[in-house]
Amino acid sequence: MTMSLPRLSVIITVATLVLSACSAAPPTSPPSSGLPSLGSGALPTAATSDEPGTSSTPGASQPAGGISAACMATNLTDLKNEGRLTLSTDTPAFPPWWGGDPDTQYPNEPEGGSGWETSDPYSMEGYESATAYAVAEALGFGPDQVDWIQNTVFAQAFRPGRKDFDFHMAQISIRERRAENVDFSDPYFQANQAILALTPNEITGATTIEALKEFRLGAAQGTTSFDLIEDVIAPNVEARVLDDNAAALQSLRNGQIDGLVVDLQTAFFMRDAQLEDFETPDPEATVVGQFDASAQSDPVGMVLQLDSPLTACVNEALAVISGDGTLNAIYDEWISTGQEIPFFE
């Protein structure tokens, strides 16, 4: 069997990610990235963002480049569990946002495991897990002072009511309607939506938003991916709303939809790890294209209980890890792919 160089490159890339995920030790220096950094020029900041739900109020007497005394772990009095940081994400937890092996007992994990599927947030691997632990460290919490609880319904995290977590991370976009029910931190990621399709489907030839109107599209319910279908693409064929990304991927496999709308990083993972069959000469799936910020601005933030006293402190910690290069290093390690995906016109 003859294999093309791009195909071989994908295999090497996936193998490299698997090997990287098996190593608990962080690299001594982050790999270089051809993508924009997550520094102040790439993400909206508290001072410039017009997204609702973010806070620009820091804690009192903040030292330059550090965390204010009021926001240090030893002084936080409004935590869900005294002296501990209680965090949350969805299960299953998918790469590249989360990493590790659910069957591995990590040193900072409760005895007997955590019961996660696909990945394990206690591994401290993956973009969101690594970011969560970096924020925790900036606040003064060690890995053994961080607890994780599971969320099984995506939208539950930003519904009204009391929260059992201090903050939740699951690629949740900051939106005005959501910010009526919860607090959002400042953004820690700017997501682009993309369309994933099975390679034989005619949608892979689409290069414009107008061309996408003739295809049946799908996305998980309650997501900005589905909002983009309705508000930006406005297809002539009724879109299919699915329970979650797992159901959406199955719908794509079954041929019930022509294209699946997800964020770009999730599209890469689905293409390379969930749909790819390396025994065949051609790729099973294709990332058809992506949408730029003019189509949909999609800043991602941490979710906290409405009017949480912790929100300003989390923003301080995000400012610290953004300013010292930690967030950019995490991006380079877990998100950057170097792949050029065209933008829909």
Say if 47-55+69-189+299-334 and 193-290 have the same CATH topology.
yes
pLDDT for 180 beyond 50 = yes
* Predicted TM-score (pTM) of this structure: 0.73
SS3 of 248, please? helix
pLDDT single digits (tens) 317-345: 999 999 999 999 999 999 877 788 999 99
Locate the domains of the chain by residue range: 47-55+69-189+299-334, 193-290
From 245, 77, 68, select the one nearest 139 (Cα to Cα): 68
Measuring CA to CA, which residue among 86, 293, 319, 294 is closest to residue 185? 319
Domain 47-55+69-189+299-334 has CATH 3.90.1170.50: no
The stretch 94-111 carries a mean pLDDT of 93
Question: Is 3.40.190.10 the CATH number for 193-290?
Answer: yes
Statement: residue 184 has pLDDT above 60: yes
Report percent pLDDT > 90 for the chain.
68
CA neighbor of 116 nearest in space, from 137, 77, 88, 76: 88
d(CA 76, CA 225) in angstroms, rounded, equals: 36
pLDDT tens-digit map of 50-90:
333 333 333 333 444 589 999 999 999 999 999 999 999 99
